[in-house]
Amino acid sequence: MQIPFNKPYLTGKEITYIQEAAAIGKLSGDGVFTKRCERFFEEKYGFKKSMLTSSCTDALEMAAILINIQEGDEVIMPSFTFVSTANAFIMRGAKIVFADSSAEHPNIDATKIANLITRNTKAIVVVHYAGVACDMDNIIALANNHNLFVIEDAAQAIDAYYKGKPLGSIGHLAAFSFHETKNIIAGEGGMLVINDEKFIERAEIIREKGTNRNKFYRGEIDKYNWVDIGSSFLPSEITAAFLWAQIEAIDDIQQKRISLWNTYYEALLAYADFFQLPVIHEYASNNAHAFYLVCQQAEDRNQLIDFFRSKNILAVFHYQSLHKSPYFLDKHDGRILQEADRYSQCLLRLPLFYELSTEEITHTIIPTITTFVEQYAY
């Protein structure tokens, strides 16, 4: 029996709600289920405005348009992240200035941002890696001092907190993902969160292909027009209906994931000399998006992946530093981002999904690590 890295979990209500959406007869976006999902997030997490999108990538693209990124504007973000974090801003003409991660966590190192700020800097994009909060007080203070926007790539950070504040509620804007690899899913799906009111009206327009169609539907104008740039960022009601089933199960899903995560952590404490284990700072909560360990060398990490595979367990590495990617290499300013590179080479993610059992962790996955540690590299 293989243990996959991820297995999308269905609560059983998804098809029921999709049938309901079909029966209502409005399948395009912004219907009953879309509004129901958005209201849930606004009420539970105190977001000023939540707008479902077709992906987190879409939400990031909307964020770049909303803060009016122009040719030559500089945007600071970690190099150890998904391509969409950078693409959204590159497509609007921004110059990306990649920052290093911190030594104890793949998140952006807040102490290394100040040196990167210039007259042209417009925004800091933070990525809450594995759903663990970045050092937000220091980042917000820096942004306020220099009049910068803060955008949270909260793709992995649903139901996660910084000093008790929900992630996604702290920056001017935030982007979430409901891709099948995240905690709650819609196949493909995402959400833009707006915490600064002044962006709401334009966001509605951008999401509706640059038209003021939302105002028209609300009866505020008698015909709708093309008024701005925009695209088709709105998901269909089918996606929202699926997501609603997941939302209803969010507490159960989170509880299960956190319990599995803790099982890993407690068992792996015995190997804290061999692997760097995840650090959750005092200020952060754990939404158990991912369980990872960091090997001492790339070679160890790659051997461990192979060893897992030989035991039918799929464990996977994660991002390759974006400053070294084929697309960006000749655009990078040459700074060495040592920690980002180390996480690229040495980080390994272990299977973590709702239907994984505690026994699979304790009887199969952990003993595999034990054998590896005894036999190999160390």
Ligand X SMILES: *Cc1c(COP(=O)(O)O)cnc(C)c1O
Question: Which stretches of the chain bind ligand X, using CB under 6 A?
Answer: 55-57, 81-82, 84-85, 127, 153, 155-156, 177, 179, 190
Q: Which residues contact 186 (CB under 8 A, 6 or more apart)?
A: 178, 235, 239, 240, 242, 243, 246
Return d(Cα 39, Cα 247) in angstroms, integer.
11
> Are the CB atoms for 328 and 86 separated by under 8 Å?
yes
- Comparing CB distances to ligand X, the nearer of 60 and 315 is 60
- Comparing CB distances to ligand X, the nearer of 52 and 369 is 52
- Comparing CB distances to ligand X, the nearer of 131 and 230 is 131
Shortest distance (Å) from residue 57 CB to ligand X? 3
Shortest distance (Å) from residue 52 CB to ligand X? 11
Shortest distance (Å) from residue 56 CB to ligand X? 3
- Comparing CB distances to ligand X, the nearer of 77 and 203 is 77
Residue 175: its H or E element: strand 173-177
Return d(Cα 10, Cα 245) in angstroms, integer.
8
- Comparing CB distances to ligand X, the nearer of 59 and 113 is 59
Q: What is the DSSP letter of 327?
A: T
Shortest distance (Å) from residue 187 CB to ligand X? 10
Among 287, 69, 50, 35, which Cα is nearest to 161's? 287
> Are the CB atoms for 189 and 177 separated by under 8 Å?
yes
- Comparing CB distances to ligand X, the nearer of 30 and 153 is 153
Residue 206: its H or E element: helix 200-207
Question: What values do phi and psi take at 9, rounded to 5?
Answer: -100, 130
Shortest distance (Å) from residue 3 CB to ligand X? 22
DSSP annotation string for 86-124: HHHHHTTTPEEEEEPBPSSSSSB-GGGTGGG--TTEEEE
Shortest distance (Å) from residue 23 CB to ligand X? 28
Shortest distance (Å) from residue 373 CB to ligand X? 29
Shortest distance (Å) from residue 189 CB to ligand X? 7
- Comparing CB distances to ligand X, the nearer of 5 and 216 is 5
Shortest distance (Å) from residue 217 CB to ligand X? 26
- Comparing CB distances to ligand X, the nearer of 7 and 309 is 7
- Comparing CB distances to ligand X, the nearer of 190 and 230 is 190
Shortest distance (Å) from residue 178 CB to ligand X? 7
Q: State whether residue 337 is helix, strand or coil.
A: coil
Residue 209 backbone zone (phi > 0: left; psi -120 to 50: alpha; other: beta): left
- Comparing CB distances to ligand X, the nearer of 230 and 235 is 235
Return d(Cα 278, Cα 258) in angstroms, integer.
13
Q: Which residues contact 107 (CB under 8 A, 6 or more apart)?
A: 78, 101, 126, 127, 128, 129, 132, 133, 134, 135
> Are the CB atoms for 265 and 362 separated by under 8 Å?
no
Q: Number of helices and strands (H, E) in the chain?
A: 13, 11
Q: Which residues contact 340 (CB under 8 A, 6 or more apart)?
A: 78, 79, 80, 98, 100, 101, 321, 323
Instruction: Give the pairing type, strands 49-53 and 161-162.
Output: unpaired
